[in-house]
């Protein structure tokens, strides 16, 4: 039988080989029991979080991963303020103009915008973790809602539980969703970028003028629900 120390050691070794998972600055606590590996701690970005989860699932004895990782927020905010920001972002986004929006406050639903619509987004925040529930029209709507939640500076994680009225999804849907997100991101000039996706792995090409724009574009791709990997080939303009 493989001991838990061996599994944890293998995962930690994989983390050491991945430069975006900085264990020295952001240590991750690992616990392995009955085939399930539990990850706890803070990481410095969405890429580090998703890569840490992917690498944790790789060893053969691991049959499940419990995600308790949180992203260090750009700004520390109270749960109520985060919830208000997410609701405001949904209200301001044209693709949700025919959606009802509700806030979950102390387990009670409070209407933010009530419409006679089959589509609804419920927003709850618990210790910086944004929880989205309800029903949306398509996977593109689900992805956009998730990105808007991630963009709130105080968000530490996003649990996207939105159900789909039309669940069709493919690589082209990912590209379309990402293009829409990049066009809305003030940090990025979407016209400078070329996007592609294969088997839910996004590739970014093009050239931008700043490192922050390059990082923002990659983060936006990682934020998308269902994306399993991001290859960032964006170059910096000299």
Listed residue (174, 190, 171) closest to 182, CA to CA: 190
pLDDT along the chain (238 residues), means of 10: 86 96 96 96 97 95 97 96 98 97 96 96 98 97 98 98 94 97 97 97 97 97 97 94
Task: Tell me what pLDDT residue 57 has.
Answer: 96
Torsion angle of the four alpha carbons 191, 192, 197, 201, in this order, in degrees rounded to the nearest 10? -130
Phi, psi of 16 (to 5 degrees): -65, -30
Fold of the domain spanning 4-71: 3.30.1340
Domain ranges of the chain: 4-71, 79-166, 171-236
Task: Tell me what pLDDT residue 1 has.
Answer: 53
The b/e string for 3-40 (b: 16+ C-beta within 10 A; e otherwise) is eeeebbebbbebbeeeeebeeeebebebebeeeebebe
The answer to whether the beta carbons of residues 214 and 231 sit under 8 Å apart is no
- Provide the CATH number for the domain formed by 171-236 in this structure: 3.30.1340.30
Task: Tell me what pLDDT residue 238 has.
Answer: 75
Structure tokens at 60: 């053969």
């Amino acid at each position: 039988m493989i001991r838990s120390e061996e599994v944890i050691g293998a995962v930690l070794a994989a983390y050491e080989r991945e430069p975006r998972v900085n264990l020295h600055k952001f240590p991750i606590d690992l616990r392995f029991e009955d085939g399930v590996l539990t990850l706890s701690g803070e990481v410095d970005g969405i890429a580090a979080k998703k890569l840490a989860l992917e690498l944790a699932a790789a060893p053969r004895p691991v049959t499940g991963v419990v995600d308790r990782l949180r992203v260090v927020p750009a700004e520390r905010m109270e749960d109520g303020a985060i919830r208000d920001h997410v609701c405001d972002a949904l209200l301001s986004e044209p693709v949700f103009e025919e959606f009802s929006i509700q806030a979950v406050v102390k387990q009670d639903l409070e209407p933010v915008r009530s419409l006679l619509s089959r589509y609804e987004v419920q927003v709850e925040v618990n210790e910086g973790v944004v929880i989205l529930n309800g029903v949306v029209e398509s996977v593109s709507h689900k992805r956009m809602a998730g990105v808007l939640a991630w963009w709130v500076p105080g968000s530490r994680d996003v649990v996207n539980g939105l159900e789909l009225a039309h669940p069709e999804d493919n690589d082209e849907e990912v590209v379309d969703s990402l293009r829409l997100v990049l066009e809305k991101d003030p940090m990025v000039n979407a016209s400078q970028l070329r996007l592609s996706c294969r088997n839910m792995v996004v590739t970014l090409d093009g050239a931008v003028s700043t490192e922050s724009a390059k990082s923002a574009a990659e983060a936006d791709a990682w934020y998308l629900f269902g994306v399993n990997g991001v290859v960032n080939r964006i170059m910096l303009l000299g």
